[in-house]
Structure 1
């Protein structure tokens, strides 16, 4: 039986450099979103307090939640790249998914729940007074729309330019946050305008409830994605099939009895295969054969950096 791990070949350093470069671009995307959200959160909070607009205050909470989440994502980028050690022999790649889960919780608690509260509070305290100061609030939202839209375009640009960015929970979270922010601003503006026109605060309360529902939905989706990765998800079916085909094509392998895979991070995966070798192999050659096969897998797919082979049947030459 052989179950030794194979170290990544020298050319894997190129993959590491590429991953570091991708992280640098992701970090810029997050910093752009963070800067925009901090400025917007302050402006929305001031505008909301001056106008008393529940929809604008809901959007302020939304931006505060997004700002906090971007700090989580920056932490995820830094911690997920730590090298493996004795306590974590497979590295810290899953840190990205943990911090993405915290970001989802932040969106739900700070954004969604506060928006529901603002909607309820607006209906409960309505005294029929005509809203005032909404011109400033609408200007703030218009500026926020431009800023959030610019941040969203930056994130979408990275998705188009970098194929692997679609798998990065940090980039996906920024795209989800910015998309939700744009929709939230539009809902808030609609509620404020209808409140001004009709004098009915229910329109604005409805906008707050709508923002809350939107945030809860996004939080659920992001949390569900993070949960799948933290529990342990296999590699893409296409990649699994290609690895299986490569193993089947080896002349020394008679049968691939079982192939297990699991993603350990953005660019790290564990591959464990239970294989039957062809009869008649010399026992001294089996280890060399396994090393060659595993090295072939790693060289073909650098992300498959932990490869284990379990020999279930390999009788020596002359054996039965």
Structure 2
């Protein structure tokens, strides 16, 4: 199977986010080590976790886009959710775990943060770089939502492309985390109390915890076999029901096979007078109409069946 446009664009978004996070991670870790700031080191851990996540998401997209073979007749799309789930767990363990633990230790010990200027400079630069990465993700989301004639929020809730969702949530969390770190540093400098620096670190950890939980839940749902959104389900049902040789659609099942692949299976009651040739033509017409309206539909299976008598 050739790589779809959506997958190609997501690859670009992930690469941009990964390179941005790598540069930011190095700068934050250096600044955190020099200053001794808990919030700064937590932000460093945050960026390290994000960089590793982007590598895993890149792996997810590449491996998930492999063509079908005899052993995997529906392709490898669901493998992308396995790697994306691992990325969410990594964020949970490394990013959130380190930030919360380090923040608690700082609150208890009250160790002085040291030089503040380098931390402020790195945070300001990081904010700018993260904004560029987030802007690319937002542009992709806006294009995709316009193409589907839905709101961006609805697209994010229902999209099967968990990589773009991950990049958007992580970049958004990164900008919030940078702001929290800056606030914690500022309050610690003004009051001379390292409690604020430690609390900022804990808040950053909790923020990462929320992002990891959202992404893990989304990937688990898709791994189990999530149906298409209700609006799309209704559209598929109406397309099948509108065929002239169809009396009714008894059962309609849908499932995401990957970020760009959807399976549709239905039990269809064709008109009693329809011949075998007409049923075959109707099934072919149904597939052409569905794929024309929803390009991500990859497989359509129709099972001719009689309506059950009461």
Measured in 2, the distance between the counterparts of 1:214 and 1:304 equals: 36
Which residue in the other structure is 2:58 paired with?
74
Which residue in the other structure is 1:206 paired with?
199
Partner deviation per Cα, 1:135-189 (whole Å, 9 max, x = no partner): 2122211211121122212221222234368532111111111111111111111
Measured in 2, the distance between the counterparts of 1:178 and 1:136 equals: 22
Pairs within 5 Å for 1:1-150? 19-20=4-5, 22-126=6-110, 130-150=112-132
C-alpha displacement at 1:115, in angstroms?
Answer: 0.4
Do the aligned partners of 1:272 and 1:309 also contact (CA within 8 Å) in 2? yes
Higher-RCO chain (CA-CA 8 Å, sequence separation at least 6): 1
Partner-residue secondary structure (3-state), 1:67 = helix
Pairs within 5 Å for 1:178-217? 178-217=171-210
**Aligned with residue 300 of structure 2, among 278, 285, 307:** 307
C-alpha displacement at 1:289, in angstroms?
Answer: 4.0
C-alpha displacement at 1:274, in angstroms?
Answer: 0.8
Do the aligned partners of 2:181 and 2:197 also contact (CA within 8 Å) in 1? yes
Partner deviation per Cα, 1:69-94 (whole Å, 9 max, x = no partner): 00011111211111111221111122
Do the aligned partners of 2:243 and 2:282 also contact (CA within 8 Å) in 1? no
TM-score (norm 2): 0.88
Do the aligned partners of 1:131 and 1:199 also contact (CA within 8 Å) in 2? no
* Aligned: 1:276 with 2:269: yes
Partner-residue secondary structure (3-state), 2:305 = strand
C-alpha displacement at 1:284, in angstroms?
Answer: 5.8
Pairs within 5 Å for 1:125-274? 125-126=109-110, 130-163=112-145, 166=156, 167=159, 168-274=161-267
Do the aligned partners of 2:7 and 2:259 also contact (CA within 8 Å) in 1? no
Matched residues, number: 296
* Compared CA separation, residues 158 and 284, structure 1 to 2 (3 A): closer
Which residue in the other structure is 2:150 paired with?
none
* Compared CA separation, residues 57 and 288, structure 1 to 2 (3 A): same
* Compared CA separation, residues 85 and 132, structure 1 to 2 (3 A): same
* Compared CA separation, residues 192 and 257, structure 1 to 2 (3 A): same
Partner deviation per Cα, 1:249-308 (whole Å, 9 max, x = no partner): 223222211111111122211111112222234456544443444344334433222111
Partner-residue secondary structure (3-state), 1:280 = coil
Measured in 2, the distance between the counterparts of 1:145 and 1:289 equals: 55
Partner-residue secondary structure (3-state), 2:75 = coil
